[in-house]
Amino acid sequence: MQLPIVAPAPLVTAHADIFRDLFENRCQFQHFQNYLTGLIVLDNKSLANITRCVLESADKTNLSRFFSEAPWFQERVNDRRLTYLLQQTQAVRGPKADAVLILDDTLCEHVGSLFDYVDRHYKHGNDTYPLAHNPVTSYYVSGPVRFPVDLRLYRRYEECTQWEAVVHKHVPDRPIPTTKKERARCHKEVDPVLLQDPAFEKLHQQFRTKIDLGIALLEAAMQHQVPFRVLLFDSWYLAEELVSMARYRKKDWISLLKKTRHLETHSFILKDAAGHTIPLAGPQIAVEALVPLIPRTAYRAVTVGGTTYWTFTLAVRLPGLGKVRLVVSFKSAELTGTYAVLVSNRVDWNAQRIMTLYVHRWPIEISQPHYGSSEHLSLAAA
């Protein structure tokens, strides 16, 4: 059942006045309130559906023109929103040392291709490539306070640079492969030629990876003086560049660790149930090869949010990231089924603190239409 929007929701009118000076006239401000109301009360939150449900508008293109043509700036609105939220929540936020900023990305699927920058992005859940936007977002959690902070739109390299069209222009006889491996090889062979085109080289310089966008969101949160100490992200964002920026900004971090990542074997000692050192071959060992070697007696029960997990923790060195603390976590006391591996720069933290902080990442999963990988889902279970 669709609800007609006859007036802005009371929640909207109670807080909207702080934004009034950011709009040039009453009509703009009314469209702004109607749009927020639609996002709150309607199940179908598309612009077309919100427009249909606004009864007072005689011209159903008003809301669309408000977004595409009216002279207002969403960055200013978001700046004001963050300032207001931080002021209003000051008395109820938790300690800064326990406050977290979460980085993640999501897919906003569409049925048409007329949107700017819409593209086919990989969907981990079912191994498909739906037509979607792929924003990278930041989210704040401090005690009972939680709200989205900012976003940056990710654009695939080939869409951002119009790569296929440029290949056809400069290397017209070169077929463009459809498989990932062959396409990567094609990039390696033709991109040096394409980069000699100034127009393509300019687009190439404008491309930003998800790691770049995550760093930009961290910097934006710092500029907005969002009070947090810990940065949370999944294994996709566990890169040297982001970790280095967190260190520069004096922020601690916790992430999921892919089970294929390698650890430096000289940096730790693993003992069996009898207390004898387990020999490890080679300078490095994959996490998935290490976990079966951990004796059952080394696991300890840790309760987080009413759920008990069985965990093993170890300080090790990760190539490119330095010394870190790992937490291997099973949900089953039998140590069977899926396990998760958390990693943090804080080698002095125990498993209890690392897991307690990382579960704060869950709100970003339910605050957006996120299509996570099985690894994301196992984290919630583990």
Please list the pLDDT of the chain residue by residue as tens digits (382 residues).
577 888 899 999 999 999 999 999 998 999 999 999 999 999 888 888 888 888 776 666 788 888 888 888 989 999 999 999 999 999 999 999 999 999 999 888 777 776 778 877 877 777 777 888 889 999 999 999 999 999 999 999 999 999 999 999 999 988 998 888 898 999 999 999 999 999 999 999 999 999 999 999 999 999 999 999 999 999 999 999 999 999 999 999 999 999 999 999 999 999 999 999 999 988 999 999 999 999 999 999 999 988 999 999 999 999 999 999 999 999 999 999 999 999 999 999 999 999 999 999 876 665 554 333 333 323 333 3
pLDDT of residue 47: 82
**152 touches 217 (CB < 8 A):** yes
What's the angle, vertex CA 88, arms to CA 87 and CA 89, rounded to 5? 95
Report the largest interatomic distance among the alpha carbons of the chain, rounded to a whole angstrom.
80
**Length reported for the chain:** 382
List all residues 6 or more positions away from 338 whose beta carbon is below 8 Å from its beta carbon: 331, 378, 381, 382
Q: How does DSSP classify residue 277?
A: B
**Total Cβ atoms within 10 A of residue 16:** 17
Predicted TM-score (pTM) of the model is: 0.88
**313 touches 351 (CB < 8 A):** yes
pLDDT of residue 150: 95
Q: Which amino acid is at 329?
A: S
How far apart are alpha carbons 60 and 58 in whole angstroms?
6
Reference 235, options 98, 109, 372; nearest CA is 372
